[in-house]
């Protein structure tokens, strides 16, 4: 049986892995056959070397670069407002799904929503977060690697562009619906309601 609410798959690229202080540099999401959401944000702090190796993003002379090429950016506040509007375009409230959501993406997103006093507006369109990392472990305990690139290779037989948050969100959506096919109880078990 299909989950009755809309699930939007999202991915953050950040300046680092410290959830209390990292800045978001890319916010992307994918849902069904709709146009993906994708915005870049010029961070207020340097991007760590490890983060650059993962996302290919750097800052030079006040511009955000993806693999050395400038990308258009918006303010973090504008990106959050636009994201809420994007989520509001779906029947809702929606669930947001990310790989490792509970330990990273959810924490960072909620922190910046609070900072800009947008949490209440966000709660009007989002009911919770699904973490696909423990979900994948429950559904496929025989696997020895649960990182998203490993899961993509195993189930899809292909790599994805690890430097592209949109592609990561789209791949997670494909894995979730076409290969894992969790039932309603599975989804509920790995949902953190807000």
For the chain, the domain total comes to 1
pLDDT tens digits for 126-176?
A: 999 999 999 999 999 999 999 999 999 999 987 766 668 999 999 999 999
Provide the pLDDT for residue 33: 81
> Would residue 66 count as lying in a domain?
yes
Provide the pLDDT for residue 2: 56
pLDDT score of 101 more than 70: yes
pTM for the full predicted model? 0.94
Structural domain boundaries enclosing 188: 7-193
> Would residue 138 count as lying in a domain?
yes
pLDDT tens digits for 34-88?
A: 899 999 999 999 999 999 998 999 999 999 999 999 999 999 999 999 999 999 9
> Would residue 110 count as lying in a domain?
yes
> Would residue 1 count as lying in a domain?
no
CATH of residue 137: 3.30.420.10
Provide the pLDDT confidence category of residue 5 given band limits of 50, 70 and 90: confident
> Would residue 82 count as lying in a domain?
yes
> Would residue 2 count as lying in a domain?
no
Per-residue HEC secondary structure of the chain comes to CCCCCCEEEEEEEECCCCCCCCCEEEEEEECCCCCCEEEEECCCCCCCHHHHHHHCEEEECCEEEECCEECCEECHHHHHHHHHHHHHCCCCCEEEEECCHHHHHHHHHHHHHHHCCCHHHHHCCEEEEEEHHHHHHHHCCCCCCCCHHHHHHHHHCCCCCCCCHHHHHHHHHHHHHHHHCCCHHHHHHCEEEC
């Amino acid at each position: 049986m299909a989950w009755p609410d809309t699930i939007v798959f999202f991915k953050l690229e950040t300046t680092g892995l410290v959830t209390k202080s990292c800045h978001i540099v890319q916010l992307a999401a994918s849902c069904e056959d709709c146009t993906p959401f994708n915005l870049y944000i010029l961070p207020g702090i340097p991007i760590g070397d490890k983060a650059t190796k993962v996302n290919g993003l750097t800052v030079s002379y006040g511009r955000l670069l993806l693999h050395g090429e400038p990308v258009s950016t918006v303010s973090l506040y504008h990106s959050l407002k636009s994201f809420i509007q994007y989520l509001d375009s779906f029947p809702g409230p929606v669930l947001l799904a990310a790989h490792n959501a509970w330990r990273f993406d959810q924490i960072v997103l909620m922190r910046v929503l609070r900072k800009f006093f947008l949490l209440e507006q966000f709660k009007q369109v989002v009911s919770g977060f699904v973490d696909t990392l423990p979900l994948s472990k429950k559904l496929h305990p025989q696997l020895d690697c649960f990182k998203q690139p490993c899961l993509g290779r195993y189930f899809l037989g292909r790599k994805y562009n690890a430097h592209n948050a949109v592609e990561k969100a789209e791949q997670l959506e494909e894995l979730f619906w076409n290969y894992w096919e969790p039932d309603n109880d599975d989804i509920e078990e790995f949902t953190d309601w807000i």
